Structure 1
Amino acid sequence: MTDNRMYFANDEDAARQATYAAARDTFEFFWRELSWEYRRIVPGLEMAAVKLPFATDASAIDAPSHEHMWIFDVQFDGEQVSGSLLNDPEWFAGLTAGNAVSAPITDLEDWMYVVDGQVYGGLFGKLFGSKPAQVAATEQAPSEREHPMSENMGAKFDEGLRDQPDMVHFRDGAGWTPLQRDAAAGNDQPVSLLRKHGADASLRTPSGKTALDLARQMQWPRSVQLLEGDH
């Protein structure tokens, strides 16, 4: 019986690690959705969060090695995922819901967002018995599809860049350009239009990444193709 329990535990841990890897492999779709959510005047997502692990105090009695917590108001700088705790942690006396936290993208365990009651992502819950996440059916690879807002706003985006040409060269509070933001999110039409209006693809983020580096990292083939034409 002990051997059987050990095998089940090992199988469960392997499955858990596989879901963590799948979440990291598909994070780009979550980030693309958030890139458009942050542009909206009226929010379109009912919820968007990622799950990150945090090492607990080893001296705490009965404490697990890590506490796994959901984070909202998610930001991503190409290296770190950051945001605010959704709930009060059980094993961290100094942290409460709403506190700012961050972790390397390599620590990401899960992500999910909700639109009109439909859940996208949530791979861990799908594996361990929660309501399965929904996935849109398509014959085209997800990374090769344009986000609907990217398709629909092309003309308006083009007009905005003509009317406000300085926006092409703008750097936000984190030191990122619009081209870098859209390349990381796989927003192909904005990437193409920003280049058309003179966005400098050689500029780097504070961590040293170009727009092409970000598109490659996030595995957006069309954005990579558009930016490789600059080299």
Structure 2
Amino acid sequence: MKLLLLSNSTAPGREYLVHARDAIAEHLRGVSELLFVPYALADHDGYTAKVAAFMETLGIRVRGVHTGDPRQLVARAEAVFIGGGNSFRLLKSLQEHGLPAAIRERVAAGAPYMGSSAGTNMACPTLRTTNDMPIVQPDGFATLGLLPFQINPHYLDASPDTSHMGETREERLPQFLEENAVPVLGMREGTWLRRDGDRLELAGVAAGARLFTPGAAPSEHGPGTDLSALLTADARFDVRGAG
């Protein structure tokens, strides 16, 4: 299985996906056409055009999954990219088009998978660690399950200078672990994960990621860290009532 999972698609002061251009080019080496899933945003055509403009710089054509029979397009896709936006809307659309199983099968067969933000959430067992507002109600929370652990994209560290009194990620993710015995990787902006078979590596900017595991203090990990052990983690997951 070959995965590239970005925390974010746009870095401050950079154009769309440019901050991860080299990693994307390597991940999609040999791919001539990419199948893009734009369901996380309302404007499917506009979103697909945005991705196509970037991929053109890599010599890769882009086709939106909404432009034909979605399951047939997935079945013959060279590679699949699910973009960011609202994770609840994205999952609901994937379910309505019967795509979770189709994408899992295609990726298991060797097609590279790329996700950013909400698309990265989709690679996890469920969307329960997303930051998004549930603007729609999907038929359960189970996602693609391309990884046996959870990710929290756009992870933010608590700031001692803020007047914000709401819960921080540092508080919310341990609450998740109280109910779910599965690790959660908080990926800061500018970071990404690369999976190639049984190897999993953290890459990107120096800020790195923060790993939350049941019964242990959070641990810090920088770019270049081998996180392959997470692929063999006991991802016991209670999805009763979650689809």
Range into which the TM-score falls when normalised by the shorter chain: under 0.3
The structure whose RCO (Cα within 8 Å, separation 6+) is larger is 2
Q: TM-score, normalised by structure 2?
A: 0.26
Structure with more of its chain in helix, by fraction: 1
Which structure is larger by alpha-carbon Rg, 1 or 2? 1
Q: TM-score, normalised by structure 1?
A: 0.26
